[in-house]
Amino acid sequence: MTDTLKHLQKATCIATTNIAFVKYWGRINDALRLPMNGSISMNLDSAFTTTTVEFDESLTADLFSLANQPADAKQSARVFSHVDRIRAMAGIQTRARVASENNFPTGAGIASSASAFAALSVATAKAAGLSLPERELTLLARQGSGSACRSVPAGFVEWHYGETNEASFAEQIAPPEHWDIRDLIAITQTTHKEVGSADGNKLVSTSPFNETRVKLAGASLNIIRRAILEKNWTTFGEETEREAIRLHVIAMTSQPPIYYWSPVTLAIIQAVTEWRRDGLEAYFTIDAGANVHVLAKAEDADEVENRLWQQEGVKIVLHNKPGMGAQVVESHLF
């Protein structure tokens, strides 16, 4: 098909998901996935995607399997168009076999698209023989799924607001070992949510409160970045909770409204607030789903985890530390 594919043809990458403390919700450009506001997150060490990409001259079409099963048409189309972006950069046309696996339930409100598109971007670029700096990889990952750009660098990461492709990149604020905080994810549903974040993102402008949220998110960025750097737990936690609630206010006041919470979600919010009154200083944040991420200091994490397991409706609790960046774990020369 082509002889421009140089040496590397197969690569495997592991990328973690991330939890945003200042969230991405709404875009100024849908095609490039440029967000309305910058965001800040932490990679989660125990929730990750492993993706292998192999370019193969004998293939006549791309193939994509998820958890060892052929993926559905919609998922496959999104993956193949992302591989197309990277093929165009590498100047190749060779078709690819893509195999991906999550170690957590897909589509349950843990950002599986973040780890998926970070792993896919890094594995595909490597297999295509491209040697891209981290910043370029974040631009690529962002175009696959916005939040994926924050899973490329390690640890605590900021994704910058920018009005062009190049300006909207992600970079590390602090490495994983900077601050030993924990994210205990209380999983309350393991099935696909009804409105995915890709669709929810398109509705923000129908909420009368969106402009205010975007403005406040800008202020939250400065507060949370600083709180992370100074390890100021109370400021960090309080601001993170406020920011999360604002995302859900936008979702609930969009046309049509999106209600991501279940009764269990609200029960956990109330429990965490009560624990705090009793001296256990944990905070919550919630993405586009019913699961609750409970943030705790390292010394309180086991206690928080035990309490979450006792909460009615909680199916699984995932215990996360600050995680690594996207890493190529295997690659082959042919």
**Site stretch for ligand PMV (CB under 6 A), options 82-90, 108-116, 219-227, 325-333:** 108-116
User: Of these, 158, 239, 243, 287, which contacts ligand PMV (CB under 6 A)?
Assistant: 287
Q: How many residues bind ligand PMV (CB under 6 A)?
A: 15
Binding of ligand PMV at residue 284 (CB under 6 A)? no
Smallest distance, Å, CB 39 to ligand PMV? Answer: 5
User: Of these, 26, 38, 105, 146, which contacts ligand PMV (CB under 6 A)?
Assistant: 146
Binding of ligand PMV at residue 113 (CB under 6 A)? yes
Which backbone phi and psi does 75 adopt, to 5 degrees?
-60, -45
What residue ranges in the chain does DSSP mark as E strands?
Answer: 8-22, 27-29, 34-35, 39-55, 63-66, 69-70, 96-102, 156-159, 170-174, 181-187, 283-285, 292-297, 316-320, 327-333
Binding of ligand PMV at residue 145 (CB under 6 A)? yes
Binding of ligand PMV at residue 272 (CB under 6 A)? no
Residue partners of 224: CB distance under 8 A and separation at least 6: 21, 22, 40, 236, 239, 240, 243
Smallest distance, Å, CB 240 to ligand PMV? Answer: 12
Binding of ligand PMV at residue 147 (CB under 6 A)? yes
Helix axes 263-277, 301-310, angle to 10 degrees: 140
Binding of ligand PMV at residue 243 (CB under 6 A)? no
d(CA 158, CA 22): 9
Which of 329, 332, 326 is CA-nearest to residue 15?
Answer: 326
CB closer to ligand PMV, 129 vs 146: 146
Residue partners of 69: CB distance under 8 A and separation at least 6: none
User: Of these, 28, 198, 245, 280, which contacts ligand PMV (CB under 6 A)?
Assistant: 198
Cα 311 from chain centre: 26
| Chain residues that interact with ligand PMV, rule: CB under 6 A | 20, 23-25, 39, 111, 113-114, 145-147, 197-198, 287-288
